[in-house]
Amino acid sequence: MNRVSQLLRITADAVSAALLAAIFITFSLQIFSRYVMNAPLGWTIELCLILWLWLVFWAGAFCVRDEDQIRFDVLVDSLPTSVGRKLAGVAALFVAGTFAYSFLPTLDYIDFYRIKKTPLLKFRFNHVFSIYGVFLVVVVLRYLWIAKSSLLNRDDSK
């Protein structure tokens, strides 16, 4: 399982790196076409925005580890370990529940956007925003796992 997990992490990081490289290439093309060729390409800006959106939600779902998140844990650190874990578990359940509560309305909204397309590249907006649905599912699963680990006093939340 550890090998599979490591392979998935490497793949997720590689996808993030590829998205970042695509943003860089597209942005460089825009600079070249605008300032050297004096013929700006409008689609490059649109593609950069779409790639950035995908990069942020992809990395947030698959690359950023729980321990990399910024935490305000002054209260939890001042409590006994068992109480702090329980509080962290309840907080994780709250986060998972909040995201889960928004799941169906979010999917409905993403599906609604199938009727619209981006102005220049003509990508359907539901495809552009579908990464948020993936992000939502992963966050719910991750925080349910964290809650389970915290409430059962285990340190396997990684």
Query: What is the mean pLDDT for each group of 10 consecutive residues in the chain (158 residues)?
Result: 90 98 98 95 96 98 86 79 87 96 96 96 97 97 94 66
Is 94 in a helix, a strand, or coil? helix
Same domain as 72, residue 33:
no
Cα–Cα distance, 54 to 19 (Å, whole number) = 8
As for how many domains the chain has, the answer is 2
Instruction: Find the domain containing 136 and state its range.
Output: 67-158
Same domain as 102, residue 86:
yes
Instruction: Quote the tokens at residue 131.
Output: 């990464």
Cα–Cα distance, 45 to 23 (Å, whole number) = 10
Same domain as 8, residue 41:
yes
Query: Which is nearest to 146 in space by CA: 106, 70, 138?
Result: 138
Q: Residue 73 gets which letter from DSSP?
A: -
Among 32, 64, 96, the domain boundary falls at: 64
